[in-house]
Each structure stands twice: as structure tokens, then as C-alpha cells.
């Protein structure tokens, strides 16, 4: 296909996306492409589809121009990225364009620019923006598609997992042209492709299901271990690859043997179950975790539980240090498997484990990495698991897990009633718990929250108002009593803390947030802070950045907020 004409047309479409779709009507620079595309359609029918879409854009009215512009842009992208068939027999155009119009968002750029910056930068900070896009439906905007692909191959980006697990599967067939093109670009280079590229195959498997197996088979010719493992799991979706997977269970590398067994478990292979049960008798089962989670055979579940109970008893009364190390390592693999399952007996085992005080006291919580397991259980979509975590975490040492499990199950008022008693009163834990309230509600504590978006019960603030670090994010605009406590305490600390101390920034922040929240006595406290030795220049800079207020009004120190 003629790439130059597509590249030129893509530039024109980009120009219109920036200028606005109403400018497309009668555009002579677009019209000139239609005859050329019609000519190319004689050999490539998809060019005829593109030509008709372009004609609709040029001849349509302003009401339909935006949708037509996005559809033409997506067609150009799909054609350019799917040239050179993957020879899998899968034609993505059949899914996207044949009687199935793209369901794309038409989102103002002003609502996208922040998330675009996050995706382009590979931000190291956790960002709630992708989740908000998904909630509003704005994630389907075509301008974000290439950035999603970039994000999932950036293993250092905290938003990568969310895009991989939530956003791309929701986009489904609409984003497949870009995903397949990115996968095909690795052809003949699979040996160099690493863990980040394996995620592309993982998403393809999620969206395409069994149709992804032929793509995965291409990796077998010589893939990097990460790519090969992902490919073997994907092949488990198609029974025709059973013998191939069985052959890989003899590989010298444990992770590859484990991936082959995982594929067989997904397939429901009887021979795979037999091999998995034999593997459970070995001292190390680390590589089997994925296969054990994927298996639905009752015999596998029964044996995992039986071994976990036996190992748990030996760790509590270890015969030798060497045995303890081996047993701990094996149990550390089996516990996440049990925690991920939904069988009643598995849930009962986890509750028994968390209630065993002697088991917790001997350091097993740390050795078995049970904190990671608790984190997953208290955010599980399984209501039974989350309610179990509410029951077993009713103590100060596990207060955060109980809080996290309650959020989403109960109202803000009920969460407070259930959880506030476990707040430790020492200051070192107060601020930690305050930030965890934000984390439990998936809110970035550095982002100011308008009252309409604050999700926690307003009574939380009273627990944190007198510390040396202040969770101003938990206070409401009209929560005057709590704000007064924080401001009085911060003003006193400003006076007793050296001006060079980094803590001064914390104290100033309380006053700055009071201005942001329009506290009626904010200007009065400004005068108190200055009198107590706060840096006036820094205060002015920070206050005027968040509040529409004139410097001279501040210096008058009147009692009313302007």
C-alpha cells in the first residue's frame, strides 16, 4: 500500500484535530486525496473504505464532523500499522470495520492534557487520572491509544498495571491494530524482547482469547524467557498446542516449565494436572504458582491445602533451621495460591492463619510476606474475602488493612464507625494512618480535594488535628473547629521551631490550605504566623498561588476572608 499518501493524509487529519472538525467541510486539501484513494481501492479494498469515510467527512455537516474525523483518523492508523500481515490468518479489519463502527470518545483536549502528560512522561508517581478517564468514558479517545501502548511497556510507571488490566481490555477490538502492530514490530527480534514486551502479548490474550494463540506460537522459534513464558500461557487457550506445552515441561529453566504447566492448567489437560501434582511433592514449588492458581482440578486444591497445613505446623515448631528455611519458602508460594482461590475451605484456611497469634508472633508474617497477601485480599472483588479481612484485622497493627477492606463495602459513616477505634494515638502513626485513609479511597494526598469529591466521613479530622504533621486533606471547608485546632497548633510550632527547619514548610502548608479552603479566620492567622516568625515571602508566594487574594489585603489583616 502507498505509505506516502497515507502519511500525508495523516498529517492533514492531525491538522484538523487541532484546528477543529468543523473546518473539514469542503476542505480542498482533503478532497484531493479521494480520487487517489479510489484508484488504490482497485487493488486494496480497504482504501475504498477510507475514501468513503473521507468523503463523508468533507461533505458532512458540523454535527457529524467530529465523529467522522475520528473514524477517518482511526482507519488511517489501522491501515498503516497493519501493513505486512502477521500471517496468522487473523485480519483485524474484519473486527474493527465490518459492520462495527468504532466506539470512540470525542473529548475536549482540556480534559485530556493532564493524563497525556502522565502517559508521555512515564510518571513515577501514582496518578488517579487514568481511573477517572475510565469512569467518565474519556479513555476511548483515539489520541490516547498510542500512549497506552507506550505506558504498558514502561515497567517503571505505576499507572502501567491499571492500563494493562483495565483500560486496554475495555477498549477491546478498537485498540487491537496498534497492539498487533507493536507485537509484529518485534518479529525476528523476540530473543531481545523483554518483560515489558511480554505485556503486549498478555493484553492481546485478554482481548483476543484463543485467537491470540497463533501470535504466541511465533515466539516459540526463539523468544526471550519472559516472552516465551507469556506465549506458553497463551497457548493454553487452544487444545491443539497440548503436546507442545507438555514438551516444554521438561525445559531446564524452572520458570519455563512453570509457564507450560500454567498453560496446561488453563487448558484443563488431565496430563498437565498429573504433572502438576507431581511437582507439588518437590521441595521447591516457586515456579508452579501461576499453574496452581490457574488449575480448577479439585485434587490440586486439596493437595495445596494439605501441604500448606503441614508446613504451617512445622514452621511453628521447626526441627532444624535448614528445614525451616525450605518449608517457609514453599509455604510462601502456596499461601498466595490459596488466597487467590474462591473455594470455601481456602477462605477458612486464610482466616485460621490470620487469627493464629502464635504464628504471627514468631515472625512468620514477615518471612511469608503476608502483608502483600493481606493487601490483595482487602482489595479483592470477592466480597467474602474482604469481609473476612474486616474480621481478622480488628487490631491496631492491622488497622490499615481493615480500613482498606471496609472501603467499597460500607458507607463512609460505617467505615468510620468500624475503623476509628484502631487509630494509634502516638504522632508517628497518626500521620501515616491519615495518609492511608486517602490511599484507601484511591486519592492522591498531594491533590487538593473539593468538598464535593471528598469521600471520607468528616469525623476523621478530629483525630489528627493536634499533631506536628497535619492531614489538612481530611478537613472540610466548614469544619471550623478542626481547622482552628490545626491552625493554633501550627502557629505555636512556627514560633518554637528554627526558621531554617524543613518542618516550617509543613506548618506554612496548614495556613495555605486554610486559605484554599476559605477558612473565615485565615487572614487573622496569617498575621499570627508572621508575628511568630514565619517566612513572609514564602507564605505570600504559597498563599497567592492557591487563593485569589491581593497582597495588600493580607497585610491589612482584617478578620474576613476576601
pLDDT in tens, 64-77: 777 777 778 777 77
Which pLDDT belongs to residue 306?
Answer: 95
What are the backbone angles phi and psi of residue 87, rounded to the nearest 5°?
A: 60, 30
Q: Determine the average pLDDT of the residues in 30-56.
A: 83
pLDDT, tens digit (0-9, with 9 covering 90-100), for 122-137 = 654 567 777 777 777 7
Residue 218 has a pLDDT of 84
Distance between CA atoms of 291 and 421, rounded to whole angstroms? 41
Over residues 435-441, mean pLDDT: 80
The predicted model scores a pTM of 0.68
Nearest Cα residue to 149 out of 106, 83, 199, 80: 199
The residue behind cell 469544619 is 479
Q: How many helices (H) and strands (E) does the chain have?
A: 34, 0
C-alpha count within 13 angstroms, C-beta hemisphere, residue 487:
24
Lowest mean pLDDT among 150-159, 167-176, 521-530: 150-159
Cα gap 91→177, rounded to integer Å: 10
pLDDT of residue 426: 58
The Cα–Cα gap between 400 and 431 comes to 12
- CA-to-CA distance for 251 and 287, rounded, in angstroms? 12
**% the chain with pLDDT above 90:** 26
| Dist. CA 149–CA 138, nearest whole Å | 17
CA angle 91, 94, 99 (to 5 degrees): 175
Q: Which cell numbers hold the place of 515?
A: 486559605
For 359-383, the pLDDT digits (tens) are 666 566 677 788 889 989 998 989 9
Check whether 269 has a pLDDT greater than 90: yes
Alpha-carbon distance of 406 to 389, in angstroms, equals 9
pLDDT tens for each residue of 349-358:
999 988 887 6
Distance (Å) of CA 31 to CA 16, 37, 40, 457: 14, 10, 15, 59
Angle separating helix axes 298-316 and 344-355, nearest 10 degrees: 10
Nearest to 402 by CA among 411, 390, 391: 390
- Work out the mean pLDDT of the chain and round it to a whole number: 80
Highest-confidence segment of 81-95, 194-208, 344-358, 460-474? 344-358
Cell numbers describing residue 101: 463502527
Amino acid at each position: 500500500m502507498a505509505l506516502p499518501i497515507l502519511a500525508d493524509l495523516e498529517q492533514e487529519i492531525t491538522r484538523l484535530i487541532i484546528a477543529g472538525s468543523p473546518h473539514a467541510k469542503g476542505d480542498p486539501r482533503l478532497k484531493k486525496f479521494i480520487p487517489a484513494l479510489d484508484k488504490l481501492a482497485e487493488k486494496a479494498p480497504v482504501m475504498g473504505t477510507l475514501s468513503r469515510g473521507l468523503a463523508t467527512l468533507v461533505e458532512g455537516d458540523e454535527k457529524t464532523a467530529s465523529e467522522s474525523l475520528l473514524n477517518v483518523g482511526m482507519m488511517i492508523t489501522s491501515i498503516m500499522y497493519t501493513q505486512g500481515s502477521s500471517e496468522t490468518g487473523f485480519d483485524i479489519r474484519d473486527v474493527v470495520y465490518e459492520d462495527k463502527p468504532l466506539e470512540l470518545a470525542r473529548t475536549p483536549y482540556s480534559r485530556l492534557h493532564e493524563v497525556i502528560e502522565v502517559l508521555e512522561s512515564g510518571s513515577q508517581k501514582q496518578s488517579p487520572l487514568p481511573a477517572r478517564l475510565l469512569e467518565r468514558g474519556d479513555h476511548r479517545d483515539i489520541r490516547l491509544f498510542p500512549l497506552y501502548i507506550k505506558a504498558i511497556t514502561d515497567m517503571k510507571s505505576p499507572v502501567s498495571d491499571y492500563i494493562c488490566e483495565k483500560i486496554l481490555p475495555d477498549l477491546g477490538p478498537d485498540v487491537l491494530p496498534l497492539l498487533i502492530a507493536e507485537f509484529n514490530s518485534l518479529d525476528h527480534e523476540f530473543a531481545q524482547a523483554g518483560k515489558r514486551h511480554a505485556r503486549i502479548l498478555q493484553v492481546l490474550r485478554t482481548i483476543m482469547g484463543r485467537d491470540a494463540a497463533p501470535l504466541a506460537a511465533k515466539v516459540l522459534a526463539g523468544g526471550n524467557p519472559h516472552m516465551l513464558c507469556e506465549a506458553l500461557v497463551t497457548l493454553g487457550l487452544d487444545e491443539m498446542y497440548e503436546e507442545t506445552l507438555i514438551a516444554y515441561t521438561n525445559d531446564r529453566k524452572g520458570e519455563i516449565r512453570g509457564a507450560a504447566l500454567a498453560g496446561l492448567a488453563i487448558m484443563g489437560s488431565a496430563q498437565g494436572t498429573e504433572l502438576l501434582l507431581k511437582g507439588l511433592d518437590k521441595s521447591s514449588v516457586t515456579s508452579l504458582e501461576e499453574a496452581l492458581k490457574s488449575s480448577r482440578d479439585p485434587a490440586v486444591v486439596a493437595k495445596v491445602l494439605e501441604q500448606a497445613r503441614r508446613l504451617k505446623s512445622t514452621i511453628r515448631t521447626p526441627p532444624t533451621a535448614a528445614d525451616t528455611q525450605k518449608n517457609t519458602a514453599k509455604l510462601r508460594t502456596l499461601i498466595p495460591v490459596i488466597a487467590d482461590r474462591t473455594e470455601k475451605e481456602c477462605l477458612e484456611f486464610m482466616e485460621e492463619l490470620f487469627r493464629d497469634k502464635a504464628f504471627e508472633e514468631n515472625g512468620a508474617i514477615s518471612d511469608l510476606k503476608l502483608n502483600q497477601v493481606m493487601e490483595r485480599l482487602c482489595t479483592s472483588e470477592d466480597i467474602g474475602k474482604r469481609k473476612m479481612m474486616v474480621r481478622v484485622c480488628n487490631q491496631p497493627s492491622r488497622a490499615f488493612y481493615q480500613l482498606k477492606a471496609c472501603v467499597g463495602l460500607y458507607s463512609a459513616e460505617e467505615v468510620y464507625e468500624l475503623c476509628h477505634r484502631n487509630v494509634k494515638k502516638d504522632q508517628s502513626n497518626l500521620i501515616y494512618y491519615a495518609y492511608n485513609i486517602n490511599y484507601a479511597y484511591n486519592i492522591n494526598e498531594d491533590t487538593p480535594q473539593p468538598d464535593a469529591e471528598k469521600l471520607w466521613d468528616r469525623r476523621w479530622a478530629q483525630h489528627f488535628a493536634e499533631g506536628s504533621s497535619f492531614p489538612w486533606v481530611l478537613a472540610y471547608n466548614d469544619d471550623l473547629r478542626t481547622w482552628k485546632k490545626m491552625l493554633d497548633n501550627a502557629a505555636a510550632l512556627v514560633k518554637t521551631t528554627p526558621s531554617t527547619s524543613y518542618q516550617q514548610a509543613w506548618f506554612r502548608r496548614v495556613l495555605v490550605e486554610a486559605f484554599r479552603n476559605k477558612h473565615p479566620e485565615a487572614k487573622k492567622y496569617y498575621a499570627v504566623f508572621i508575628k511568630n516568625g514565619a517566612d513572609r515571602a514564602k507564605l505570600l508566594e504559597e498563599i497567592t498561588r492557591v487563593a485569589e487574594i491581593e497582597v495588600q489585603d493580607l497585610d491589612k489583616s482584617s478578620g474576613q476572608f476576601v
